[in-house]
Structure 1
Amino acid sequence: MADEGLRPIVVKRIKKGGGHHGGAWKIAYADFVTAMMAFFLLMWLLGSTTKGDLLGIAEYFRTPLKVAMSGGSGSGDSSSVIQGGGNDLTRRTGQVKKGDTPAEKKTYDLKAAKAALEHEEHVRLQALQKRIEAAIDANPMTRKFKNQLLLDITSEGLRIQIVDEQNRPMFALAKAELQPYTRDILDVLGLVLNEVPNKIGLSGHTDSTPYMSQTGYSNWELSADRANASRRELVRGGLADDKILRVVGLASAVHLDSKDPFNPINRRISIIVMNKRTEEAIRRDSSTLDVPDVQGAAASAGALTAAASQAAK
């Protein structure tokens, strides 16, 4: 107990310094103000940007390399990085021309365009005519039959006619059997005609010499069979079968020499390399047409009238 009075007394003294606190708080405050300015600037940009531009920006940041290398909705269509662009902020898609100059309105002359296409097709058919003539001259087997090949441009397209001569018919007498030299000609034509995109039509013709078998087989059947025999040989020679659009027999209805209906040149096969107008006309003629059933409608109306009269009685 006596030792308690001898316990040492410890006095704690706080030493106060007179220095300043430093400038670290100023840097922190400046960073805070900069961040707030950036935040308000971002809010302003988001409020004044259209939805289309926002989607373009989002697309760019999702796949920046893809947009930059291959283009896309976020790369813009011309000089603008963002789709849209220009001064008109109301536009959501498409590039907007800068300035107040109105965009030029383009007009198209359909008649002029159609005439240009027809002229181009006419030039292509003329080139085909020259190529066929050159192919015939280059082949020794077909060169000697050059006089029996007539080529000209008609309203339907390029017409190639293989005609008979007095002592050199293209077919056996009164039959649809091709002569060997006729096969050679058609084989050459099949290869050349397969190179063009145009559709092909064939028609068979006879002269006015009366022909009728006991079974009723006439010039009509003969001309059609000869046209079909020519089609088969063209396909065998290299022509694609789906390029043929029409095969008809016209008998003696359309003469090449109208002054002499018995002239051998009236017996011929006519091959038409169709132009686009002829092809469209054939396809249009073969399309279906909805015709109202007038008789059925009249019968229905009559039945209704009779039923009304019976009800009135």
Structure 2
Amino acid sequence: MLTGKKSAPSKPPKLPGFPQAHGSSWKVAYADFVTAMMAFFLLMWIINMTPPATLKQLEQYFQGDPKPAQGALFSPDANERQHTAALNRDEAMRYAIAVRLKKIITEDPFLKNSSGISSDDVGVLLRLQSGMLFTPGSAELTEAAKRLLADVVDVLKTYNVALVIRGFADAGEATKGLYPSNWELSGARSAAAARAIIAMGGIQANRIRAVAYGDSRPLMPDFSPEAVAANRRVEFYFHRPDVTNSQVLY
């Protein structure tokens, strides 16, 4: 008998051993899988179509190798690369010299309290109070100075650097000795150190300069005996051989 009502669709029977469906979430996972496979095959096609020189350049870029591949389309300027490499070498050399000098002065209790090390873009500066190197009022090197100058010679032998020795003195110290002024005393001290370095290590004379400043470049005002002693000093400035006089002679 027909009543006009639609009957509800019957559910499919449950089959033993088969998991039941849980919606359409599997379609999303399948779509992601297909997309990943398409991207993979597209990447393989691009790599296969790329010239070998470009691939080599990309490899060197990600490995941090600044040298461009032969035949590469894009490469940095050769002069710029050489300039950057030279700066890196100079920085490494200055750091190594500073570390060596720091080790020398920290191992000597007398030098530790009367010396200092600094560096700039040109070189490394070792500053010592003159009392550590010379007898008062004279340009006669002490035994401690000779040991220190042997370390200076070692630096000059190890690294391709030049050396400026700067002598400083004051009128009060000069009048106690054989020198009529602080200029003569400071010049005699820097010359004595240069002469000893050349004779001690066989260093070529054109790598060393000795200059005198007297009391024209004090580190601090002479308001105390400590300040006066600090201003009486000798400076050893290790620098690149190619710099101009204005950069190393203040």
TM-score, normalised with respect to structure 1: 0.47
1:201 is aligned with what amino acid?
A: V
| Map of 2:113 onto structure 1 | 147
Please, which of 154, 165, 170 is the counterpart of residue 133 of structure 2?
Answer: 170
Alignment of 1:39-54 (within 5 A): none
C-alpha RMSD over aligned residues: 3.6
Amino-acid identity (%): 19
Counterpart CA distance in 1 for 2:105 and 2:229 is 22
Alignment of 1:1-313 (within 5 A): 104=73, 108=77, 110=79, 113-136=82-105, 142-164=108-130, 168-207=131-170, 209=172, 211=174, 217-238=180-201, 240-242=203-205, 244-258=207-221, 260=223, 263-276=228-241, 279-282=242-245
Counterpart CA distance in 2 for 1:216 and 1:177 is 12
1:268 is aligned with what amino acid?
A: R
Q: Which consecutive unaligned segments of at least 5 residues does structure 1 have?
A: 1-101, 285-313
Counterpart CA distance in 1 for 2:74 and 2:105 is 52
Instruction: Deviation per CA, 1:257-294: give whole Å up to 9, x if none.
Output: 24648510111111111135xx331399xxxxxxxxxx
TM-score, normalised with respect to structure 2: 0.58
Contact 2:166/2:236 (<8 A) preserved: yes
Contact 2:168/2:232 (<8 A) preserved: yes
C-alpha change, 1:149 and 1:107, in structure 2 (3 Å) is same
Instruction: Deviation per CA, 1:122-171: give whole Å up to 9, x if none.
Output: 22111121123334556xxx45432223111034410011114xxx5532
C-alpha change, 1:280 and 1:259, in structure 2 (3 Å) is same
Cα displacement (A) at 1:242: 3.6
1:147 is aligned with what amino acid?
A: N
Which secondary structure state, in structure 2, belongs to the residue aligned with residue 177 of structure 1?
coil
Contact 1:203/1:269 (<8 A) preserved: yes
1:270 is aligned with what amino acid?
A: E
2:101 is aligned with what amino acid?
A: I
Counterpart CA distance in 1 for 2:80 and 2:129 is 38
Structure of larger gyration radius: 1
C-alpha change, 1:268 and 1:103, in structure 2 (3 Å) is closer
Instruction: Deviation per CA, 1:88-123: give whole Å up to 9, x if none.
Output: xxxxxxxxxxxxxx9847551645643542243122
C-alpha change, 1:283 and 1:219, in structure 2 (3 Å) is closer
Counterpart CA distance in 2 for 1:216 and 1:185 is 25
Which secondary structure state, in structure 1, belongs to the residue aligned with residue 201 of structure 2?
coil
C-alpha change, 1:239 and 1:157, in structure 2 (3 Å) is farther
Q: Greater RCO between the two (CA within 8 Å, min separation 6)? A: 2
C-alpha change, 1:220 and 1:107, in structure 2 (3 Å) is same
Which secondary structure state, in structure 2, belongs to the residue aligned with residue 178 of structure 1?
coil
Counterpart CA distance in 1 for 2:221 and 2:183 is 18
Which secondary structure state, in structure 2, belongs to the residue aligned with residue 172 of structure 1?
coil
